[in-house]
Amino acid sequence: MTANPWIQDVAFPDCENSHVGKICLQMNCNSDCVHILRSIVAVMTARTGMSELQSNRVAIAVDELFANIASHAYDGKPGKVEFECRIDESSDSGGELIIDLRDYASCNWSGCLEEAASRTIDHENPCPGGLGLKLICAVVDECEHTRLPDGNHWRLIFKFNGRTNT
């Protein structure tokens, strides 16, 4: 257990001989955790060599998804969230920054990501709902959602070229 009441556990697996590895974090769903997630995103996108624009897009997607989990899955109440961020360089053409968020909410999202991504926005008469997912889908290379018996699993994938800054 860490000293911060919102953080439940932090792990840095597979990092013994590398500055890349992955970062795993268990936290209570709380708006203060956004600052921690942004810090992790900044470090990991810098390690991939992503531009500032790309890094900001990753941060926007993570912020929005975390806010959706807090607001919709947990309805603003405390709840456990697992966050994992890792760099996969197995492709010769570049790599992927993979971000997983997993909640344990009793509410499972049952929508369609393709519909959320293709939703038309009426700029003269905007209506709430679904805009966050549209934003997420607009800035990620891939977005996946899996309904679990005890929550939701979200995966955001961002592609980058070149090797990491190790």
- Three-state DSSP class for 91? coil
Q: What is the pLDDT, as a whole number, of residue 162?
A: 59
Q: What is the CATH number of the domain that holds 100?
A: 3.30.565.10
Other beta carbons within 10 Å of 116: 20
**Strands 22-28 and 7-11: what pairing?**
antiparallel
- Three-state DSSP class for 110? coil
pLDDT in single tens digits along all 166 residues of the chain:
445 554 554 455 554 444 457 888 999 887 778 889 999 999 999 999 999 999 999 999 999 999 999 988 898 888 999 999 999 988 776 899 999 999 999 877 777 778 777 777 777 776 666 688 889 999 999 999 999 999 999 999 999 985 554 4
> Kindly report the CA angle at 24 between 20 and 28, in degrees rounded to 5?
150
**Would residue 1 count as lying in a domain?**
no
**Would residue 105 count as lying in a domain?**
yes
Please state the domain count of the chain.
Answer: 1
Q: What is the pLDDT, as a whole number, of residue 15?
A: 47
Alpha helices, DSSP H, located in the chain: 33-48, 52-68, 113-118, 131-139
Other beta carbons within 10 Å of 69: 22
Q: What is the pLDDT, as a whole number, of residue 163?
A: 54
Q: What is the pLDDT, as a whole number, of residue 18?
A: 45
Range of the domain at 104: 7-160
| CA distance to 111, 154, 158, per residue, from 12 (Å) | 33, 20, 20
**Would residue 54 count as lying in a domain?**
yes
The reported pTM is 0.81
**Would residue 136 count as lying in a domain?**
yes
**Would residue 38 count as lying in a domain?**
yes
Q: What is the pLDDT, as a whole number, of residue 130?
A: 64
